[in-house]
């Protein structure tokens, strides 16, 4: 079970890092496409929801 927890945490942290890096690049390069920025922010939100969901499963 602890391997599953660590694997989930690692996956979540990696995906969040990539999404934040993309957002940083778009902001730095003054990308005006709000649809892309919104998609990245939605990805971050979904990752948070996934993390919470998996945590609930593991705790039950």
Please count the structural domains in the chain. 1
Q: What share of the chain is helix, strand, coil (3-state, %, to 5)?
A: 90, 0, 10
Q: What pLDDT digit, counting tens, does each position of 17-26 carry? A: 888 888 888 7
**Spatial contact of 41 and 23, defined as CB atoms under 8 Å apart:** yes
| pLDDT at residue 1 in the model | 61
Domain that holds residue 51: 2-59
- Segment 26-44, tens digit of pLDDT: 788 877 778 887 888 888 8
- What's the chain's average pLDDT? 80
Predicted structure pTM score: 0.55
- The pLDDT score that the predictor gives to residue 48 is 83
Specify whether the CB–CB gap between 7 and 28 falls below 8 A. Answer: no
């Amino acid at each position: 079970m602890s391997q599953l927890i660590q694997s989930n945490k690692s996956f979540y942290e990696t995906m969040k890092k990539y999404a934040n890096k993309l957002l940083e690049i778009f902001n730095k390069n003054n990308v005006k496409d709000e649809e892309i920025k919104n998609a990245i922010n939605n990805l971050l939100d979904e990752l948070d929801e996934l993390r919470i969901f998996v945590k609930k499963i593991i705790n039950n």
